[in-house]
Amino acid sequence: MLKIIYMNTILQRLGFLALVFVAPMQWSGLSFAQNIDNATELYQSSLASTCANCHGTDGKGVINGGIPLINHLNSEQMLKELKGYKSGTREGTIMPQLMRGYSDTQLEILSQQLGKKE
């Protein structure tokens, strides 16, 4: 009888350990997928946040402040302007230098993040 109680105790402890250690491993796969999505969103937002230093967080900047307002541009217009700065077909003081540091993919992300949503 004592041997049966001892075996039940061991099985209960093993079940508890399985619950404690195995179950979180199953759930961690879900959180890993969420972290990938969050990491992508964070990366995209961080690219766009660098623009806020001059253009403001909503793209309105300071009226008559010498920096173009960008809040009226849609994504296609934004991408055209950014690529123009990068290629040198659009003149500017800082923007051509900055845009040469971005890949075309990054410019597309910037335009999607900052472009006016219609």
For residue 45, how far is the Cα from the chain centroid?
5
Q: Which two tokens stand for residue 82?
A: 């950014």
Alpha-carbon span 114 to 110, nearest angstrom: 6
Alpha-carbon span 85 to 99, nearest angstrom: 6
Q: Residue 116, SS3?
A: strand
CATH number at residue 30: 1.10.760.10
pTM > 0.75: yes or no: no
Q: How confident is the model at residue 44 (pLDDT cuts 50, 70, 90)?
A: confident
- pLDDT tops 80 at residue 20: no
Q: Where are the alpha helices (DSSP H) in the chain?
A: 2-55, 75-87, 95-99, 104-114
- Residue range(s) defining the domain that contains residue 44: 2-114
Our count of domains for the chain comes to: 1
Q: How confident is the model at residue 10 (pLDDT cuts 50, 70, 90)?
A: low
